[in-house]
Amino acid sequence: MVSPDLLEILRCPACVREKDGLLDLIHDTWLVCRDCGRKYPIVEDIPIMLIDEGDKWVNTSAEKLPVPPPRPE
């Protein structure tokens, strides 16, 4: 599980310069940006906050995100 303190400070790397980039925790394994909809997986309790990784899932609805998330390639 990702620390609540860490979740409080994490922001979407694609949005943080121009918007808030706030993230919501979904299924305890995904961080979803409220601004752009990018979805960042949490693998072995480590958020994968790479824009390219978030781009892979932007068109997938939160309900259809795989649990657990696949490991990044």
- Per residue in 17-64, pLDDT (tens digit) is 899 999 999 999 999 999 999 999 999 999 999 999 999 999 999 999
Q: Decide if 25 is inside a domain.
A: yes
pLDDT band at 73 (very low <50, low <70, confident <90, very high): confident
Q: Decide if 66 is inside a domain.
A: no
Number of domains comprising the chain = 1
Residue 72 pLDDT: 79
> Cis omega before residue 68 (within 30°)?
yes
Q: Decide if 43 is inside a domain.
A: yes
CATH assignment at residue 38 = 2.20.25
Q: Decide if 21 is inside a domain.
A: yes
Structural domain boundaries enclosing 13: 4-61
Residue 29 pLDDT: 95
Q: Decide if 48 is inside a domain.
A: yes
Residue ranges of E strands in the chain: 23-26, 30-33, 39-43, 46-47
Q: Decide if 67 is inside a domain.
A: no
